Chain A
Amino acid sequence: MKILVCISSVPDTTTKITFADGNTKFNTAGVQFVINPYDEFGLSRAMQLKETLGGNVTTITVGRADTEPVIRKALAIGADDAVRIDADPMDSLQVATEIANYAKDKGFDLIITGRESIDYNGGAVPGMLAELLGINSVSPCVKLDIDGTTATMQTLIDGGKEVVKSSLPLVAAAQKGMVEESELRIPNMRGIMAARTKPLAVVPGAAAGNAKFKTFDLPAPKAACKMVSADNVEELVHLLHTEAKVI
């Protein structure tokens, strides 16, 4: 089983978001970068599959050298080797094209991504990647089982779940459920040591995108909260009805 896991380097979930250069750039000063949380579910499932089916887990990241600590963390969790496509990732199309170009002649049986990046929230790389490779995609994928050359998966539909089947290769976009929170792999000391010498190939990037992020802004600040006494819930209902007009 040859598995490719796509890893995006994103700001830690506790990051307070600010912008620089006249709101044209995300301000990375003091920001801690981590493996995109959805990708962690995917990587953990890849490790489980390798343990039961044998094979190899490769990670791929489109990004500059500053993404390497995150890549090393993925290696410490257990991936066998890593690829970094050296480019500034600017949009979903560019990232998907780079990954497709790398993967197309490598014979991967399975490509795992996250459901979306928690920074730019495109949610588009998995579908684009699969379409570029001419294979099936399932996003979000909340259960993934492999039997021979067939994958049985669960995906979400509005109002429930759907069970689907596909032949391999395919792209599965992970979120919680592919593994549970308690099954997430955390690097141990041995893993961290081993990761230092695992192969990390750097490949120059060449793809272009077609969406430009011009400026950013933050939500308008909230007015002060109106406090209501716990003994007077009728007052709250009255305010919601007549002032906020939401009930």
Chain B
Amino acid sequence: MSVLVFAENWDGNFKKSTFESVAYAAGLAQAAGGSVTAVVIGNVSADNLSSLGTYGATKVVHYDGADVNHQGVASIVAQAVQAAGAKYVVFNGTWKSKGAAPRLAIKLNAAIATEVVELPSSTAPFTVKKKTFSGKAFAHVELSSDVKIIVLSTNSYGVKENAVTAAVEKGSGSATEKDNSLQHVEYQKTSGKINLTEAELVVSAGRGMKGPENWGMVEQLAEALGAATACSKPVADIGWRPHHEHVGQTGIAVAPNLYIAIGISGAIQHLAGISSSKKIVVINTDPEAPFFKAADYGIVGDALQVVPKLTEAIKKLKG
């Protein structure tokens, strides 16, 4: 029985979320019996393809050629699942995967669990834990179909090494004409920044920063740490920060090792999106701010004073 994993690449390179999904597939193969086949679509070097062995893929099926959108992914992965006779399909939690997986579920008559945070607690019946209520709770979901699809919540399982030798082979097939009819026009990439969903460290700030002119110190702290930057919803709504930085129940959900919240009150909708963070630091002038109840470490103080000092102290630690 084989576990198939969609190993997403960006211009030929894999990211952490790809390795996390391959590692999860390896864990699943161990629990359910079987081996891991990774499906790669696009122009990817031989070295990169075989690097998936590091995380437990014994086979890599490479569909060489142009990159495809989520519909193309669903089309090609459906063919790969049938060719491999796979019973499980694993996706990382990226936009492309979240788009592809539900379409694949219909193509294969498969049940799907999204926002999955752990390996199955049982394989018969197949039961997995997923996030619900936008991070405020978890559900244990039972999937009863022949083929089952898992979409991970990024940063929940983690990247685990499990080195094996990956045999690379060419896949034959391409997206159907119908799936190809969603036309690509152009990419508008935000360059150079650390991807917020994948980030291990996140520095986030809210209305307590008073205005966009004070974000320099937030960015300097993030830079000293090697962290991604984020913000609360009102800050994005009034245009102090771009929309793609808004975290919370109606924004992006994050699960970093460390989340530093500066001048954010800790409203329930904000906490929903960040509660999976392993450690939380709160800096706020108000000792009664609700965020302290969700925090591991807290400083009561003025962000405009504390943040630059914190940046200096971190630089000192890093030498």
Contact = CB atoms under 8 A, between A and B. Distances in A.
Interface of A: 11, 13-17, 19, 37-38, 92-93, 96, 118-128, 130-132, 134, 136-140, 152, 154-167, 175-177, 181, 210-219, 222-223, 225-230, 233-234, 236-237, 239-241, 244, 246-247
B317 interface: yes
Contacts of A212: 141-142, 144
Interface string B251-263: 0000001100000
Contacts of A213: 132, 139-141
Most-contacted residue by chain A among B130, B136, B198 (CB, 10 A): B136
Given A163-B184, A165-B182, A219-B137, 10 more contacts: A13-B272, A131-B74, A131-B102, A139-B99, A158-B197, A162-B187, A226-B298, A227-B297, A244-B258, A246-B257
Contacts of B144: 210-212
B186 A163 contact: yes
Interface string B284-310: 000000001111111111100110011
Q: Which 7 A-B pairs have the closest CB atoms?
A: A230-B301, A127-B102, A160-B189, A124-B102, A131-B106, A210-B111, A163-B185
Contact of B141 (A134, A156, A158, A211): A211
A36 B85 CA distance: 38
Contact of B243 (A37, A176, A239, A244): A176
B71 A210 contact: no
A158 B195 contact: yes
A211 B258 contact: no
A38 B250 contact: yes
Contacts of B141: 211-214
Contact of A244 (B133, B134, B279, B282): B279
Interface of B: 10, 15, 17, 69-71, 74, 94-96, 98-103, 105-107, 111-115, 127, 130-134, 136-145, 178, 181-190, 195, 197-198, 201, 225, 237, 243-244, 246, 249-250, 257-258, 268-269, 272, 275-276, 278-279, 281-282, 292-302, 305-306, 309-310, 313-314, 316-317
13 contacts: A121-B134, A122-B114, A128-B105, A139-B98, A158-B197, A211-B143, A217-B138, A222-B296, A228-B299, A239-B297, A240-B279, A244-B258, A246-B279
A176 B96 CA distance: 18
- Interface class of chain B by DSSP: mixed
Contact of A166 (B182, B269, B309): B182
Given A127-B102, A158-B197, A211 B142 contact: yes
Contact of B183 (A126, A164, A216, A237): A164
> Is the contact region of chain A dominated by helix, strand, or loop, or is it mixed?
mixed
Contacts of A123: 98, 102, 114-115
A160 B313 contact: no
A181 B258 contact: no
B244 to A, nearest CB: 7
B202 to A, nearest CB: 11
Nearest to B236: A176
A138 B244 contact: no
Contacts of A128: 102-103, 105-106
A88 B10 CA distance: 41
A238 B47 CA distance: 40
A247 B133 contact: no
A127 B10 CA distance: 22
Contacts of A228: 297-299
B305 to A, nearest CB: 7
Contacts of A222: 293-296
Contact of A211 (B111, B184, B272): B111
Contacts of B188: 154, 160-163
B207 to A, nearest CB: 15
A141 B115 CA distance: 20
Nearest to A209: B111
Contact of A130 (B103, B131, B201, B282): B103
